[in-house]
Amino acid sequence: MIDRKALRHLLVSKRRKIDPTEFGWPKRTGPGRRSPGISQAQLAQALYVSERTYAALERGDAESVKAEFLDSVARVLRMKPPERTALYVYAVGYEPPTPMDPEAGMGIPDVWHQAVNRVTGQPCYVNDVAWNILVANGDFFTMFPREVGTPPVSPPRLPEQNLIRWMLLREEAREHMMVNWEKQWAGPVAGQLRTAVAAHPDNKDLQQLDKDVNEDPVAGPIYRNPNLTYVHPDGDTRLMRHAGYRGTPGSTDFRDQCCDQHAPSQLGYVTMCSAQPHGSPGTRVLFLVFEPIR
């Protein structure tokens, strides 16, 4: 729903903060009352559109407003990301499909590292747009299979920094941790990768993942399936083994070995709770809620 009043207020207030001389127009002088900032005509000229086209947007009467036009308006008026989001919502009724900063989704503020590391009792991590792990808590590190007789590594480290690479290409994920990998895990994960590659075609990590998964003899045929459609795992529940699960004192949780190679682990269901830091669009925070099979 278009909010004409809010849209006009936003655009007029931003126009009034722009000095016309910054665009090469002379400073206005002479008698008569002058509004501050640049006029609709001057802004239209900076946008390479007619004054009528821009005026229709400011009134909320524009038809079929394109994202490229709104992004040009936001850029010329030097809008910050929250203002750009408001521009979209007021003008077309939805948030921008892509972030304003091309580097968005590649990192998170330091406070998120503190927040994740203070989560205890269940695995938690944050990944970037290419599924590189940016930060993970101690419970997440303990989930992965450990070979028999191998002591925990200090400081703990991940078997693979990129989670999708690990889930789709590593044998220990496909054959041991991700139970029923081909039917429950491979399709949704491959679908996530395909969606991410389409959304971020210039991301080098995603380009390399796309190539490596496509060429893999096991994951490749699944990845190339044209019927894959998947975006995020929020709320999904899948079967897996948790190497670090210890249960509660006095519990009867059953730990066994998936194979002779790996130490005992707990079979159970993991439910993924996914969210996104608003300041880093494209990144994901995931809490992994594990329920053992007794």
Q: What is the pLDDT of residue 171?
A: 93
Calpha distance 143→123 (Å, rounded): 8
Q: Please say if the pLDDT value at position 139 is more than 80.
A: yes
pTM: 0.76
pLDDT tens per residue, range 99-123: 666 666 678 889 999 999 999 999 9
Torsion angle (degrees, nearest 10) of CA 254, 257, 262, 265: -20
For the record, the structure tokens of 101 come out as 């900063």
The average confidence (pLDDT) of the chain is: 88
Topology, domain 110-292: Beta-Lactamase (3.30.450)
* pLDDT tens-place string over residues 193-232: 998 898 888 889 999 999 999 999 999 999 999 888 877 7
241: phi then psi, degrees, rounded to nearest 5: -110, 140
Phi, psi of 184, deg, nearest 5: -100, -35
15 torsion bin: left (phi>0), alpha (psi -120 to 50), beta (else)? alpha
**Separation between Cα atoms, residue 90 and residue 92, nearest integer Å:** 6
At 20-36, the pLDDT tens digits run 888 777 766 655 556 78
Residue type, 136: A
Helix, strand, coil % over all residues of the chain, rounded to 5: 40, 15, 45
Over residues 124-135, the mean pLDDT reads: 94
Cβ 96 vs Cβ 83: under 8 Å: no
CATH code matching the domain that covers 4-92, chosen among 3.30.230.10, 1.20.1290.10, 3.40.50.300, 1.10.260.40: 1.10.260.40
Sign (positive/negative) of CA torsion 158, 164, 166, 172? positive
Which 3 state secondary structure label does DSSP give 237? strand
* Whole-number pLDDT of residue 291: 93
User: Which among 197, 292, 220, 284 has a CA at the least distance from the CA of 251?
Assistant: 292
Tens of pLDDT along 32-90?
556 788 899 999 999 999 999 999 999 998 888 898 999 999 999 999 888 888 999 99
Q: 3-class SS at 162?
A: strand
pLDDT of 69 reads: 92
Compute φ and ψ for 276, nearest 5 degrees.
-130, 130
**Residue 12, token pair as written in the block:** 């007029």
In the chain, where are the structural domains located?
A: 4-92, 110-292
